[in-house]
């Protein structure tokens, strides 16, 4: 089955700097890669996703890149703000199958 590894487990950045979180997956059949943000005491929320037929996707300050050959994908947050502080989870799945989540990254943006 699919296995997703996520790094780093914690990340501290200064406000305005960029943050990068990386995930690797094992199942070459996986073709859907979402990212979730979970603020303290709240539910995980989908912030961006990418499918295997696309190499990069951007939404304002957030971007996700996918390297199918190396089986890894990354979340990039530019111009970080204090409200970006949260736990971020990556996930992967083959078409329609259940998502397999990474262990999460605690992002702290220091002002």
Partner 1 sequence: EADIYQTPRYLVIGTGKKITLECSQTMGHDKMYWYQQDPGMELHLIHYSYGVNSTEKGDLSSESTVSRIRTEHFPLTLESARPSHTSQYLCASRTGAGGYTFGSGTRLTVV
- Which residues contact partner 1 by CB under 8 A? 32, 34, 36, 38, 40, 42-46, 49, 87, 89, 93, 95-96, 98-99, 101, 103-104, 106
**Shortest distance, CB of residue 81 to partner 1, whole angstroms?**
20
Gap between the Cα atoms of 105 and 107, Å rounded = 6
Structural contact between residues 92 and 32, judged by C-beta atoms closer than 8 angstroms? yes
CA dihedral angle for residue 81, residue 83, residue 87, residue 90, rounded to 10 degrees: -70
- Shortest Å distance, C-beta 67 to partner 1: 21
Taking the least distance from each CB to partner 1, the nearer of 38 and 78 is 38
């Amino acid at each position: 089955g699919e296995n997703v590894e996520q790094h780093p487990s914690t990340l501290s950045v200064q406000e305005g700097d960029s943050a990068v979180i990386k995930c690797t997956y094992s199942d070459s059949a996986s073709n859907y890669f979402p990212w979730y943000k979970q603020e303290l005491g709240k539910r995980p929320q989908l912030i961006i996703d990418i499918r295997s037929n696309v190499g990069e996707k951007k939404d304002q300050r957030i971007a996700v890149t996918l390297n199918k050959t190396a089986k890894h994908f990354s979340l990039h947050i530019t111009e970080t703000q204090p409200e970006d502080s949260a736990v971020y989870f990556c996930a992967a799945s083959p078409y329609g199958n259940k998502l397999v989540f990474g262990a999460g990254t605690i992002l702290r943006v220091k002002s």
